[in-house]
Amino acid sequence: MISLRGLTKRYGGTLAVDDMTCDIRAGRVTGFLGPNGAGKSTTMRMILGLDHPTRGRALIGGRPYADLRRPLRAVGAVLDARAVHPARSGRAHLLAQARSNGIPVRRVDEVLETVGLAKAARRPAGTYSLGMSGRLGVAGALLGDPPVLVLDEPVNGLDPDGVRWIRRLVRDQAAEGRTVFLSSHLMSEMQLTADHLVVIGRGRLLSDTSMTEFLAAASPASARATVPDAQERSALVRCLTTTDGVSVETSASGELAVGGMTAAGIGDLAHRCGVRLHALSDVRVSLEQAYMDLTARSVEYATGSAERGGRQ
């Protein structure tokens, strides 16, 4: 588990991280979201001991990073996948990391295989594509088989196959009981990958909740229903419109768009009214829309169309 307690970082006049308190728990993928400049990388750097908090603490398994005796065995990280000596081969880069953490050489070859870099392992890392560098970064993170993974934008530069690979990898790591803390600006990908979300804006914690609750909170109950029989459809519309707070629109194809009620509620009502349904589904906003709504006022570097506003 990663624990943040009143974590604060000030750079001169910039409050990059402002009193963050939350736990990033084991056994699930926690997505870390926030607009550009929100403080995600600064938070991750403080977790990894690369920056000192101005106030507060970041703990990995109850200890600050500096107290970890074999750090690669406690936490694996990808911060800047390009931060590798360009003349060193991928394998030599991993070997150096392994030696300093008491990790056997065979583990280096194992992780190179896992990330699909075995064939390119002896080439200078400076000749790697962005995607290959990303894979080398992930190999370094997995090297010590750590219980905690911190990944800053790990899908950057990966092709669709690579993006899928990262998704499966982090989901598998979480399923094995590891703590996975992952940042990305790719909302559709995050929606498929994360179980839990930590959202920040201008350094402050805006949300710490499950993906399901985050989406449900952003979208008032609404659903779509298909009733094949016209008379039964009218009967269902009558039943729905006599329910408080429910609105119904009928499309040209006869599909009902229902506001103020979930699919489960409509199913129960249809059953009571003796109406046969052919299709019934909840309508949810996407993570992208829910996230945009939450962070609209916290965007530091906004384009013309984004809302500008005060601090939340």
Ligand X SMILES: Nc1ncnc2c1ncn2[C@@H]1O[C@H](COP(=O)(O)OP(=O)(O)OP(=O)(O)O)[C@@H](O)[C@H]1O
Q: Give the interface with ligand X as residue ranges (CB under 6 A).
A: 11, 14, 16, 34, 36-42
Tokens of 123: 């080439």
Q: Give min distance, CB of 310 to ligand X, in A.
A: 16
Q: Which is nearer to ligand X, 36 or 281 (CB)?
A: 36
Q: Which is nearer to ligand X, 11 or 273 (CB)?
A: 11
Q: Give min distance, CB of 11 to ligand X, in A.
A: 3
Q: Give min distance, CB of 79 to ligand X, in A.
A: 10
Tokens of 192: 């498929």
Q: Give min distance, CB of 43 to ligand X, in A.
A: 7
Angle, vertex CA 18, rays to CA 58 and CA 173, nearest 5: 40
Q: Which is nearer to ligand X, 39 or 140 (CB)?
A: 39
Check: CB of residue 81 under 8 Å from CB of residue 75.
no
Check: CB of residue 29 under 8 Å from CB of residue 182.
yes
Q: Give min distance, CB of 51 to ligand X, in A.
A: 8
Q: Give min distance, CB of 299 to ligand X, in A.
A: 11
Residue 95: Cβ-neighbour burial (10 angstroms; 0-12, 13-18, 19+)? middle
Three-state SS letters, 278-307: CEEEECCCCHHHHHHHHHHHHCCCCCCCCC
Residue 136: Cβ-neighbour burial (10 angstroms; 0-12, 13-18, 19+)? buried
CA 223 vs CA 138, 219, 226: distances in Å: 40, 11, 10
Q: Give min distance, CB of 85 to ligand X, in A.
A: 22
Q: Which is nearer to ligand X, 37 or 260 (CB)?
A: 37
Q: Which is nearer to ligand X, 14 or 262 (CB)?
A: 14
Residue environment code for 5-38, b if the CB has 16+ CB neighbours within 10 A, otherwise e: eebbbeeeeebbbbebebebebebbbbbbbbebb
Q: Give the span between the Cα atoms of 281 and 287, in whole angstroms.
A: 18
Whose tokens are 């768009």? That residue is: 257
Q: Which is nearer to ligand X, 147 or 201 (CB)?
A: 201
Q: Which is nearer to ligand X, 40 or 93 (CB)?
A: 40
